[in-house]
Amino acid sequence: MPFHIAIDGPVAAGKGTVARLVAEKLDFNYIDTGAMYRLVAYIAKKNHLKFTDEKALLPLVKKADMDIKNPTPEEKDGRLATIILDGKDLSWAIRTQAMSSGASQVAQLAEIRHVLVEKQQEIAKGKDVVMEGRDITYRVLPQANLKIFLTASDIVRAKRRHQQLLSKGEDADFEDVYKALIERDRRDMERSVDPLQIVDDAWVIDTSDLSIEKVVAAVTSKVEVMRGK
């Protein structure tokens, strides 16, 4: 039987890095569902549509061929995953502040979310996966073997996000990044469809004062115990 690890949490809590390293250590598939919302934002921009234009976006998203794969040796350039849209590698093209903002807007659209949840469930079917996002523990993989909610303080998350943008050469102001993060949190928690939440059976991990290595070690150890290894 496949083993599913579902990880939810706010932006810059460490979900992507932790999920990717856990998947690597356990030889699981890593699935970044947030990247799929960024792909929808990319589709909107490419077609000159507003991020909130659900009627126009829906048929485009339905027919879009989206895939998320572990990077091949040739693709290991710092990316956490290889993100494909209709055969095109957009792993870095979607990692901008604009696509992040667009992703949080399209994530408000109920029909878009419904289509993406189906695509995410199809990707996970029959595989050992570590899937991270904001509605994984209760909407995408409600029967996951292990559910985790990763979080950290606002300031710590803003510092992480700011450093991430600077490392990619973006001219990012910390105050702007902090305000955008708080606004993203508000949208995620207050949206009417699948808001960010902590389910009762989730293991809550605050990463504010923990190294990535410690978090990864704790998660992999727990999974090995659960699998009887």
Q: Where are the beta strands (DSSP E) in the chain?
A: 4-8, 29-32, 66-69, 82-85, 88-89, 129-133, 146-151, 203-206
Q: How many CB atoms lie within 10 A of CB 25?
A: 15
4-226 maps to CATH 3.40.50.300:
yes
* Side-chain-facing half-sphere of 167: CA atoms under 13 Å: 10
For residue 72, give the DSSP letter.
P
Position 228 scores a pLDDT of 87
Paired tokens of 153: 């303080």
Q: Measured between alpha carbons, how far is 78 from 168 in angstroms, rounded to an integer?
A: 10
Position 76 scores a pLDDT of 83
Q: How many CB atoms lie within 10 A of CB 32?
A: 22
- Residue 109 to residues 60, 130, 207: CA-CA distances in angstroms? 14, 25, 30
The angle formed by the CA atoms of residues 71, 24 and 189, to the nearest 5 degrees, is: 85
Q: Measured between alpha carbons, how far is 214 from 205 in angstroms, rounded to an integer?
A: 11
Per the CB < 8 A criterion, the answer to whether 54 and 109 are in contact is yes
- Residue 71 to residues 54, 93, 195: CA-CA distances in angstroms? 31, 16, 30
pTM: 0.89
Position 229 scores a pLDDT of 66
Find all residues with CB under 8 Å of 2, minimum gap 6, and list them.
124, 126, 127, 128, 129
pLDDT tens string, the chain, 229 residues long: the values are 899 999 999 999 999 999 999 999 999 999 999 999 999 999 999 999 999 999 999 999 999 999 999 999 999 888 889 999 999 999 999 998 899 899 989 999 999 999 999 999 999 999 999 999 999 999 999 999 999 999 999 999 999 999 988 988 888 899 999 999 999 999 899 988 899 999 999 999 999 999 999 999 999 999 999 998 6
Place of tokens 């706010």: 10
Q: How many CB atoms lie within 10 A of CB 163?
A: 14
